Amino acid sequence: MDDGLTSKQLVRQTNGKLILQNIFNSGVTSRAQIARDLSLNKSTVSSIYNDLMLTGLIKEVGDGEASNNGGRKPTMVTINATYGVTVSLDIAYRNLHYMFNYLNGEIVKSGEIRIYQRDIHEILDIIHDLIESTLPKIKSEVGLMGISISYHGIVKDGQILYSPFLNLGGIDLKQELWKMYPHVKITIDNEANMAALYERDFNDEQSTENSITISIHKGIGAGIILNHTIYRGATGEAGEVGRTLTMHNGKYQTVESICSEDAIITAISDEYGEPLFRNDVVDLYRKSNPIVIKRLDLFVETIAFLMYNIAKTFDTHSFFISSPLIEEMPEMLNAIDEQMRMIDSSIPNVYLIDDADKATLLGSCSLITHRVLDMMNYDLHFSIN
Q: Are residues 225 and 326 in the same domain?
A: yes
Above 80 in pLDDT, residue 71?
Answer: no
User: Distance between CA 22 and CA 28 in Å, rounded?
Assistant: 10
Q: What percent of the chain has pLDDT over 70?
A: 97
**308 within some domain:** yes
Q: Are residues 91 and 43 in the same domain?
A: no
Domain count, the chain: 3
Q: What percent of the chain has pLDDT over 90?
A: 86
- β-bridge mates for residue 222, sequence order: 214
Q: Are residues 68 and 90 in the same domain?
A: no
If DSSP codes are grouped into helix, strand and coil, which group holds residue 322? strand
Instruction: Fill in the amino acid letter for 272.
Output: Y
Q: Are residues 96 and 166 in the same domain?
A: yes
Burial class of 53 by CB neighbour count within 10 A (0 to 12, 13 to 18, 19+)? middle
Above 90 in pLDDT, residue 65?
Answer: no
Contact (CB, 8 A) for 165 and 261: no
Above 90 in pLDDT, residue 105?
Answer: yes
Q: Are residues 19 and 114 in the same domain?
A: no
Instruction: Fill in the amino acid letter for 106.
Output: E
* CATH code (residue 336): 3.30.420.40
Burial class of 182 by CB neighbour count within 10 A (0 to 12, 13 to 18, 19+)? exposed
CB count within 10 Å of CB 265 equals 18
User: Distance between CA 309 and CA 319 in Å, rounded?
Assistant: 12
Q: Is the dihedral of CA 184, 189, 233, 163 positive or negative?
A: negative
User: Using alpha carbons only, how large is the chain's radius of gyration in Å?
Assistant: 23
Q: What are phi and psi of 337, to 5 degrees?
A: -60, -45
* Residue 18 confidence (pLDDT): 97
Pure H helices in the chain: 7-26, 31-38, 42-55, 120-134, 173-180, 191-202, 256-259, 261-272, 278-286, 290-314, 324-328, 331-343, 356-372
Q: Quick: pLDDT tens for 262-295.
A: 999 999 999 999 999 999 999 999 999 999 999 9
Above 70 in pLDDT, residue 68?
Answer: no
CA 378 to chain centroid: 16
Our CA dihedral for 328, 330, 331, 334, rounded to 10 degrees, sits at: 150
Which residue segment(s) compose the domain that 52 sits in?
A: 7-79
- β-bridge mates for residue 224, sequence order: 212
Above 80 in pLDDT, residue 1?
Answer: no
Out of 59, 79, 99, a domain closes at 79
| 318-322, strands of its sheet edge to edge | 229-230, 220-226, 211-216, 318-322, 350-352
**140 within some domain:** yes
Identify the weakest region by mean pLDDT among 65-79, 92-106, 150-164, 323-337.
65-79
pTM above 0.85, yes or no: yes
Q: Are residues 246 and 157 in the same domain?
A: no
Please choose, from the candidates 209, 166, 187, the residue with its C-alpha nearest in 3D space to the C-alpha of residue 317.
Answer: 209
**2 within some domain:** no
Contact (CB, 8 A) for 190 and 153: yes
**236 within some domain:** yes
**325 within some domain:** yes
Please choose, from the candidates 239, 147, 244, 159, the residue with its C-alpha nearest in 3D space to the C-alpha of residue 193.
Answer: 239
Contact (CB, 8 A) for 144 and 85: yes
Above 80 in pLDDT, residue 252?
Answer: yes
User: Distance between CA 26 and CA 104 in Å, rounded?
Assistant: 11
Above 80 in pLDDT, residue 341?
Answer: yes
What mean pLDDT is reported for the chain?
93
